[in-house]
Amino acid sequence: MANKVYNFSAGPSVLPEPALKEASAACIDFENSGISILSMSHRSKPIENMFAQTEQYLRELMGIPEDYDIVFLGGGCSLLFCMLPMNFLDQDATADYALTGVWANKAYKEAKQFGNALAACDTKSETYSRIDKNLKLSDNATYLHVTANNTIYGTEWHNFPKPKSGFLMADVSSDFLARKINVSDFGVVYGGAQKNISCAGVTVTIIKKGLLGKVNRTIPTMLNFQTHIDAANMFNTPPVFAVYVMNRTLKWLKEFGGVDAIEKVNRSKAALLYSALDNSKVFVGTAAKEDRSIMNVPFVFNKDVVAADKADDLAKEFLEFAKARGLQQLKGHRSVGGFRASIYNAMPVEGVQALVDCLGDFEKKVLG
């Protein structure tokens, strides 16, 4: 391809080129076996070793203690939203959910089917443009659920709340390994992999030992986390290729310098883009400054400069203007409109700088 393309998609998202090249080669010949990884038995020694290595990479990069289990599953977070309360929330028990966006609401809706799920906060009336830290917590909650980063609205918990009782559960799908967290502060950490650590097809759930097996209900075998822990993630045919892409991405991150190193770069990229938006006359960010995400940056036209009846046509023009420069997938989520730049781990600083330059040039064009 002659021109460099930068993919700002919220997910599935940009992945490191070295990981993509290794995954591509493995589709033809996995580890000099002469067999494609797509055709290799999940019970073969090479695949078992790869799964064990992937888990070890995660433990090293995230500092996951030995008293936590790691589960790899298909089904996406949409499945985990129901599996988690099914496994942890008894029918007469309570769980608190911080409603900070669409995905938090989806998790909350599923939990209500299994127990007494309560909203600890809800900023829907403010289009989820900020995170409400004044949570209404239950005295006897089994857990407090938070969504670490809100991809649609561009907000992020910079300091995680502490539950009044029970344990903290976090969906970290869109900032997985983007910043350092203390896993020991959580009972459960989970997420889909297709933002920062792999392609679509696999989820990661990190569970503190001793929390499972306490609900008074029969859990279907396949939906029971203990099933997969006991079978070392091999109860049924797992998403082998997606786990391998994760393996290669984690290897890349280790070689990059780990989470501390990538977090520095991520904060630098975010600061660069937010500075451009804050100094723009045509574009404005939509998230409250104190809650801004370092992963997802939504922005819109300044209403004082771009008339409402001109905004739709100008938005199409901007997206085409950006695409011509190799800047793709900048359209905002369908529920909020505008624009969104997702600047995950594998997005280089050069990509963000190219976007900043594009914003500046388009602004000159608009202002004449």
The dihedrals phi and psi of 287, each to the nearest 5 degrees, come to: -85, 145
What number of other Cβ atoms are within 10 A of residue 141's Cβ?
Answer: 23
Alpha-helical runs (H) found in 112-199: none
Q: Is 122 a catalytic residue?
A: no
> How far, in Å, CA of 185 to CA of 273, rounded?
31
Q: Is 103 a catalytic residue?
A: yes
Rg (CA), the chain: 21
Task: Give Cβ neighbours of residue 128 (< 8 Å, ≥ 6 apart).
Answer: 100, 101, 102, 150, 152, 153, 155
Could you list the beta-strand ranges (E) of the chain. 6-7, 68-73, 94-99, 116-122, 141-147, 149-150, 155-156, 167-171, 188-192, 203-208, 283-285, 296-301, 327-328, 339-342
Catalytic residue among 103, 175, 252, 269: 103
CA distances from 259 to 91, 199, 250, 263, 348 (A): 38, 19, 10, 6, 15
Catalytic residue among 69, 96, 175, 195: 195
Beta 68-73 vs 203-208: how paired, if at all? Answer: antiparallel
Q: Is 252 a catalytic residue?
A: no
CA distances from 123 to 64, 97, 153, 155 (A): 32, 12, 11, 12
Catalytic residue among 69, 96, 171, 291: 171
The kind and range of the H/E element at 254 are helix 240-256
Catalytic residue numbers read 103, 171, 195
